[in-house]
Amino acid sequence: MAELIKVTIEKSTLSVEKNTKISDFLASLELEKKPLFARINGQLVSLDTPLIENMELEWIDEDSDEALEVLRHSASHLLAHAVLELFPGTQTGVGPAVENGFYYDFLRDLPFTPEDLEAIEKKMREIVQRDVPIERVILSKDDALKLFKEQGQDLKVELILEKGEDWVSNYRQEDFIDFCRGPHVPSSGYIKHFKLLSSSGSYWKGDEKGKQLQRIYGTAYFSKEKLDEYLDLLEEAKKRDHRKLGPELDLFSFNEKLGGGLILWHPNGSAIRRAIEEFWYEEHFKDGYEIVYSPHIAKLDVWHQSGHTEFYDAMYPPLLHEGMEYELKPMNCPFHIMVYKNRPRSYRDLPLRWAELGTVYRYERSGVLHGLMRVRGFTQDDAHVFCRGDQLEDEIKRVISLALKLLKAFGFEEFDVYLSTCPDKYCGLLDDWEKATLALEKALKDKGLAYQIDPGAGVFYGPKIDIKIKDALQRSWQCTTIQLDFNLSERFDLSYIGEDGKAHRPYLVHRALLGSLERFFGVLIEHYNGNFPVWLAPVQVIFIPIADRHNEYVEDLSQMFREEGLRASVDHRREKMGYKIRDAEMRKIPLMCIVGDKEVYEQSVSLRVHGAGDKGKIHVNEFLEKVKELVKNKSLSINI
């Protein structure tokens, strides 16, 4: 007699023969929507998984994020299958699903060309048409190693030796087989809506000294509408790419003679940066912060004491001078700690809120450098709060409030909030980590912010809150980090004299609200497509005289606006008026003032707004006050 097990689905319990595949069990049920996967006791599995014990079973359909991730991972296998059919002898690396798509790494002598990608995509569609079953194959470790050795797949052999257990999970579709835990869609016919996007170089296991591979990127969705929507988004993102708009608007540049990842801020970009910094300082003063400055290097011993040399792998090699080793700073925190230790502190002194726009240096591999988003030298809007235990909760909530205030002023209204917990490599005691995590979690709950737990994503010295903004294209960008740290207080022996006359450890809160100014600037460029609001625009107002006789008047106007703190300029060029207006539009200057005889006589200007055209005449004094109001209120739109 067949052995029966109990399967619980949505509080209903059914009896099923042991070793029945989920797909066979599913065929006996009447469901409104056919699931693609299942979750057994919390673990996602394929439908060909056998039911072997009493369990809770949950259906997963295509509407879930998990299903989309599995579809994309299956699409990466489809990609590898097609590559091996077209280019026999190619070695396969890894092919995960990633945010918005998937990729697969290949080892071959020649890079993939655009024509190759077209052929690969065509072959993928042929395999989809064949509706090839995707089946899980369990092999002993020895048999799996033998199989992949015979196929000449040395990279797979290396992975199995490293990660394979006694029994190795693989997935097969026709002649293609891959070492993989799964799950996958039931057959290739499910992968109808996909697109290959690009190819680039990569390194095996991310090691620059390792084998150089070719990586092909793609994306996949369950519907054509979703795929088309994403491809349209990519086209819009290309138009907004800060690496394209930066040079066009003369905002910044890189120069290989200086080295990769090092930014030159041009006057236009610097004007925007100064506006950001002035607003940042103003809001920090209002919130009770004091400003500090620190050097760019320190003796290597400082970084040994802080733990960075042990736990942080993005530091430059030390500089040797007069027999002493110095280190370019990757962080600002040890310097602020030295200021704290400069004299004894009392409980009455706390909290101390010290902020710095501090430039730091981190070695990033050349392959990951990306415009302003990933650089080697950047300025953090850094701050540290030293406080007592009874002040900690209020201080964290205060930081959250300031972060949201700043981000909203720049036009960001949607946020994803994450609470990152203890990583594998950490300093300090787990008990302290638990206390710190609970303190951050309580602050988020008290502020009424929805958040997700990001397990193991804390930095080595403490758990953290991350706030990601959503830009105009609904992309997420990391900005705010609020991190609690018990570790450095211990390492640097920080203390204050309490009301009881005894020494106590202060709590240390690290925080950056905008993150790096460079990265935040890149996000702003793409968010606004270079059409900055008036308060941020590098040139806020341009005066365009119709004839030379109007030059004196527009120069006086420009000077008057500059004396009021506004960024104004004059276009004196002997060009046609239409050309000068088009040029101002191309430069995305928000306010253009045309001046002729009538305007001089009436003490007015003929106003044009970027992207909105002619707005008619306005008296100079009224116009000045309206522009000042736009800047003062950090207005995101122009209402004049």
DSSP labels, 571-637:
----S-HHHHHHHHHHTT-SEEEEE-HHHHHHTEEEEEETTTEEEEEEEHHHHHHHHHHHHHTT-SS
The share of the chain scoring above pLDDT 70, in percent, equals 100
Task: Write the pLDDT tens digit of every residue in 291-339.
Answer: 999 999 999 999 989 888 877 778 888 888 888 999 999 999 999 999 9
> What CATH number has the domain bearing residue 601?
3.40.50.800
Instruction: Looking at the structure, tell me whether residues 49 and 105 fall in a common domain.
Output: no
> What CATH number has the domain bearing residue 44?
3.10.20.30
How many contiguous H segments (helices) and E segments (strands) does the chain have?
19, 35
- pLDDT of amino acid 60: 81
Residue 533 lies in a domain: no
Catalytic site residue from 153, 156, 308, 333: 333
- To which residue do tokens 């590559």 refer? 83
List strand residue ranges (DSSP E) for 148-271, in order. 167-173, 176-179, 193-203, 212-221, 252-254, 263-265
Instruction: Looking at the structure, tell me whether residues 278 and 169 fall in a common domain.
Output: no
> End-to-end alpha-carbon separation of the chain, Å?
85
> What CATH number has the domain bearing residue 189?
3.30.980.10
Residue 247 lies in a domain: no
Q: Would the pLDDT of 131 be above 80?
A: yes
Catalytic site residue from 81, 156, 362, 398: 362
d(CA 195, CA 101): 9
Instruction: Looking at the structure, tell me whether residues 256 and 390 fall in a common domain.
Output: yes
- pLDDT of amino acid 5: 76
More confident residue, 22 or 330: 330
d(CA 195, CA 224): 11
Task: Write the pLDDT tens digit of every residue in 387-437.
Answer: 998 999 899 999 999 999 999 999 999 999 999 988 887 777 788 788 888
Beta bridge partners of 355: 291, 383
Mean residue pLDDT of the chain comes to 92
Question: Which among 60, 91, 106 is the end of a domain?
Answer: 60
Instruction: Looking at the structure, tell me whether residues 74 and 32 fall in a common domain.
Output: no
Counted domains in the chain: 4
Q: Residue 505 is inside which H or E element, if any?
A: none
d(CA 336, CA 294): 8
Instruction: Looking at the structure, tell me whether residues 317 and 270 fall in a common domain.
Output: yes
Instruction: Looking at the structure, tell me whether residues 382 and 352 fall in a common domain.
Output: yes
Contact 376, 362 (CB under 8 A): yes
Q: Does residue 351 have a cis peptide bond before it, meaning omega lies within 30 degrees of 0? A: yes
Q: Which of 109, 121, 113 is nearest to 213 (CA)?
A: 109
Q: Which of 77, 108, 106, 91 is nearest to 149 (CA)?
A: 91
Residue 640 lies in a domain: no
Q: Examine the residue annotation and report whether 362 is marked as an active-site residue of this protein.
A: yes
Instruction: Looking at the structure, tell me whether residues 193 and 235 fall in a common domain.
Output: yes
Question: Which among 60, 79, 107 is the end of a domain?
Answer: 60
Task: Write the pLDDT tens digit of every residue in 579-591.
Answer: 999 999 999 999 9
List strand residue ranges (DSSP E) for 347-475, in order. 352-361, 377-387, 415-420, 452-454, 464-470
Residue 228 lies in a domain: yes
Q: Residue 389 is inside which H or E element, if any?
A: none
> 480 phi and psi, to 5 degrees?
-80, 135
Q: Examine the residue annotation and report whether 178 is marked as an active-site residue of this protein.
A: no
Residue 468 lies in a domain: yes
Residue 535 lies in a domain: no
Catalytic site residue from 153, 380, 483, 540: 380
Q: Examine the residue annotation and report whether 464 is marked as an active-site residue of this protein.
A: yes
- Which burial class, exposed, middle or buried, applies to 580 when counting CB atoms under 10 A from its CB (0-12, 13-18, 19+)? buried
Catalytic site residue from 193, 329, 510, 511: 510
- Residue 146 half-sphere exposure toward CB, CA atoms < 13 A: 5
Within 429-569, residue ranges assigned H as helices are 430-446, 487-491, 517-528, 551-563
Residue 244 lies in a domain: no
- Which burial class, exposed, middle or buried, applies to 104 when counting CB atoms under 10 A from its CB (0-12, 13-18, 19+)? buried
Question: Which among 60, 76, 92 is the end of a domain?
Answer: 60
Chain CA centroid to CA 97, Å: 17
- Which burial class, exposed, middle or buried, applies to 348 when counting CB atoms under 10 A from its CB (0-12, 13-18, 19+)? exposed
d(CA 334, CA 326): 14
Tokens of residue 170, six digits: 């693989």
Within 287-366, residue ranges assigned H as helices are 300-306, 308-311, 333-340
d(CA 599, CA 137): 81
Q: Would the pLDDT of 544 be above 80?
A: yes
Catalytic site residue from 48, 178, 381, 382: 382
- Residue 508 half-sphere exposure toward CB, CA atoms < 13 A: 25
> What CATH number has the domain bearing residue 311?
3.30.930.10
Instruction: Looking at the structure, tell me whether residues 137 and 182 fall in a common domain.
Output: yes
Instruction: Looking at the structure, tell me whether residues 562 and 506 fall in a common domain.
Output: no
Instruction: Looking at the structure, tell me whether residues 53 and 75 fall in a common domain.
Output: no
Contact 542, 570 (CB under 8 A): yes
Write out the residue range of the structural domain in which residue 40 sits: 4-60
User: Where does the pLDDT of residue 1 fall: very low under 50, low under 70, confident under 90, or very high at 90 and above?
Assistant: low
- To which residue do tokens 């306005």 refer? 618
User: Where does the pLDDT of residue 640 fall: very low under 50, low under 70, confident under 90, or very high at 90 and above?
Assistant: confident
Most distant CA atoms of the chain, gap in Å: 106
d(CA 35, CA 583): 56
Instruction: Looking at the structure, tell me whether residues 422 and 564 fall in a common domain.
Output: no
Which residues, 6 or more positions from 593, have their beta carbon under 8 angstroms from its beta carbon? 541, 542, 543, 544, 554, 557, 605, 606, 607, 608, 623
Residue 613 lies in a domain: yes
Provide the Cα torsion 632, 249, 562, 639; round to 10°.
-40
Within 333-420, residue ranges assigned H as helices are 333-340, 392-409
Contact 330, 360 (CB under 8 A): yes
Which residues, 6 or more positions from 344, have their beta carbon under 8 angstroms from its beta carbon? 496, 497
- pLDDT average, residue stretch 256-283: 96
Which residues, 6 or more positions from 127, have their beta carbon under 8 angstroms from its beta carbon? 78, 81, 82, 85, 173, 174, 188
Task: Write the pLDDT tens digit of every residue in 562-575.
Answer: 999 999 999 999 89
Q: Which of 124, 115, 118, 111 is nearest to 200 (CA)?
A: 111
Instruction: Looking at the structure, tell me whether residues 472 and 345 fall in a common domain.
Output: yes
